[in-house]
Structure formats: C-alpha cells, structure tokens
Structure 1
Amino acid sequence: MKIKYLALLVFPLIITSGCGTISTTKKEYKISQNSTLKSEWTSNSKEWLLQADTLKGIGGPMHWGVIESKKKLPENYEIDFKVNLIKESLFEVMLNMDKEQYIRTYLYTIDQNIVIGRGVYKKGSDEYEKRGGPTLFKKPIKLENNKWYTVKIRVKNNQLNFSVDNETTLECSLEKSNLSKKGTLGFITNGEVKVTDLTIKSL
C-alpha cells in the first residue's frame, strides 16, 4: 500500500455537542488521536491503540481483542477503511450492537470468505458460545495475511451492503434476516490487525 502524506491521514474529529450518535456537522466521523480513542471508545489499551494514522488491534485465539464505540451509529450510514490482517485469521466489524446482539461482517482467512452473520458478544467472557455467532451469508474471496484490503459497509433503508476491494459483495435485508437495526460499532480480532483511513459517514 502506498503511504500517503501524514497530513492526509490525520483523522480530524468534530463531534456534535451532546450527541450520543456518531455524527458531525459534516456528517462524517474519524478518529483523531489517542485521547479521542480513550474517551469515545471502550477497549483494553493493550489490545487496541492508535499509532499515528493507524488503529492497531491485538487479540488471540482464546481471547479476542475487542473495541466498541460509545456512540450509536446513525440509522443510515457508510463505513470505509483499509485493513491488513497481519496475523491469524479473523477480523470482524460489529454493526448495530445492542444488548449483546449485533450484525457480524467479517473477513475470515481460514474459510476464505467474507461473511454476514448474527452475533452475540458478552463483555468479559471468552467462552465460545458468548462471542461470534451463526453465518447467514458468505461469499468466497482470496484472503491473505500481510495484505491491505479496502472495505466498504453501507446500511441504508434497512439494506446492508458489505464489499471488499469493490469486487466481492454481500447484501441482505436487515428486516428479512431479523438483524439489529440500531446500536454501536465495534471491531474484533483473534490475532493482529491494522486499520487505516477509517471514515464513518451519516447518509
């Protein structure tokens, strides 16, 4: 991946005062600095940290590294970022997390698929049945460690679109699939992952 000038990768943050939803005057949210990460997100600082322009997550097969936003996602939104699975097999975006339930959208190198599923996450527990969940939709994709992928997730009018490198795409209806329609955002890894150019946009 070409390294851009640092000035282009710094994440400016302007949060609407008193608002509990990820939104800004420009309808766009980006992580700006470590102080923002600590105040706006819930995580273990040994598992998720911001290094210059890059969000880095560290987990393991028995203990997944999790980070969760304290602000709710808008009803309609678009999430764009680049991700590199440095080690192990799983990187997951947790969408619309509400009362331990969420939508699983993830890259899985073992099965060589991108996946949409129904997830559960019980904080403080590493028990197998208290994290992750069943697959609803999947599509084959060649996934490798130490390679950057461009991810776009779009939720509009209860329709979810999840694409990687603008080539492999999964779609589903939140209503028809009985998936959560509101909640917060999170990330999970069972190894080491890097995320950059993260933008969350209200549509």
Structure 2
Amino acid sequence: MTKQISITFIFFLILSSCSSTISTSKNEYILQHSKELKSNWTIHSKEWVLKDDTLTGSGSLSPWGVLVSKKQLPKNYEIDFKVNMSNSSLFEIMLNLDKGKYIRTYLYQIDQNIVIGEGVYDKKDDSYGKRGGKTLFKKTMKLQNNKWYVVKIRVTNNQLYFSVDNKTYLECYVEKSNLNQKGKIGFITNGEVKITDLAIKTLQ
C-alpha cells in the first residue's frame, strides 16, 4: 500500500513538472529554493535573489527590476504572498503577461494607491511608453517603506479580485475591461522589494 502511494505521488510530481502552467489542480506552487528561481523564472533586468525563503528584487527608475515566470498562469488561480517595499515606491504584479500586454496590479507609494491597470511590457526597451500603462481602477491606501503587506489576488470566471491586508481591495471583470485572459506572472520594482510566502494555487 505504501509503495502504491509513493508511485502515485511521483506520478503527480511528473505531471506537474511537465505541465505548461505554473501550478496544477493537484499541486500548489510555492517558491522555496534558489534552484527553482533559476529553473522556473527569468530575470529580465537588475537582480533577483532567493535567500532564507525571501525573494529580494532590486531595480531603479531605469531599468526596473523585472522577474517573469517561464510557465503560464492557470485559467483560474489564487496568488498569496507578503511584500515589503523596503526601498521602492512601486511594486507591481504582472498578471496574464502575453505578447507584451498584461494586467497591472500594483502598490504605488507616491500616489498612496493600489491599482488595477492595463500594462505593456517590452523586455528590450525600458523607455517611456514601453513599460507600464494606464490606470483602470484605484483605491487609496496608506503605503510605507519597511512594512510588510499581505497581498491576495484571485482570478476566477473572468473576475479579478486584488486585496492588500484583507481590507483594501479592488475588483473588475477581465473580459469586460478588455484585459488579457491568459499569460504568465511577473514582478516589477523600481527599488528594493522583498517577497515571502509566495504561493500560486489553481482554482476549479
């Protein structure tokens, strides 16, 4: 019986490793080891380091620090993590990045807002108009450096829910807002940012 369970477990591991999505319905993706950072993610500019379960990204006003997954997000998913903008004014989660377009979900310290927007990204060009994009929805929130925030993002049935500290949140319909419905996940910072407890779960 124990042998059969072990074989089944190995089978699911093989399936998840061959999957085109970053997480499957059988396996929640959790970023824990530096080897995973190199094998599952691409660093487009500046540096990103995973140490002691904390992912640290460094960027500047030009170029930004950009990290993009190598695999697609599932159709329906939930993303949970904690973030500390230790020395930055912008931290952005790129959702459904595909063909240079993505959904912007970000914390913006200068305007003291959390935002959902329409983004463009050209990995070969960080000039004005080739990164970022327009704001679609925003909500005021007091944001500080060197403070940890709990972020939750959920996309299900074409509805996007984005919350910080379980109290400030934004919602929108992806299709109605003419936003990407599939693609990869990425992170952007214009300074130093720390991320921990990153988990990506497939929703049914």
Which residue of the partner structure matches residue 86 of structure 2?
A: 86
**Does the 8 Å CA contact 2:30/2:199 hold for their aligned counterparts?**
yes
1:55 aligns with 2:55: yes
2: CA distance, partners of 1:14 / 1:163: 33
- With normalisation by structure 2, the TM-score equals 0.90
Per-residue CA deviations over 1:89-142 (Å, capped at 9, x if unaligned) read: 000000000000000000000000000000000012110110000000000000
**Does the 8 Å CA contact 2:78/2:201 hold for their aligned counterparts?**
yes
Q: Within 5 A, what are the aligned runs for 1:126-137? A: 126-137=126-137
Letter in 2 for 1:186: G
Q: Within 5 A, what are the aligned runs for 1:56-135? A: 56-135=56-135
Which residue of the partner structure matches residue 8 of structure 2?
A: none
Letter in 2 for 1:159: Q
Which residue of the partner structure matches residue 26 of structure 2?
A: 26
Structure of larger gyration radius: 2
Instruction: Kindly tell me the number of residue pairs found equivalent between the two proteins.
Output: 191
**Does the 8 Å CA contact 2:31/2:197 hold for their aligned counterparts?**
no
2: CA distance, partners of 1:184 / 1:145: 27
**Does the 8 Å CA contact 1:65/1:190 hold for their aligned counterparts?**
yes
29-38 vs 162-171, which moves further: 29-38
Gaps in structure 2 of 5+ consecutive residues: 1-12
Structure 1: 4+ residue segments shifted above 2 A? 24-27
Gaps in structure 1 of 5+ consecutive residues: 1-12
Letter in 1 for 2:162: F
Q: Secondary structure at the match of 2:129?
A: helix
- With normalisation by structure 1, the TM-score equals 0.90
Per-residue CA deviations over 1:25-52 (Å, capped at 9, x if unaligned) read: 6331011211111011000585111011
Letter in 1 for 2:174: L
1: CA distance, partners of 2:77 / 2:84: 23
Decide whether aligned partners of structure 1 residues 45 and 14 sit closer, same or farther in structure 2, where only a CA change above 3 A counts. farther
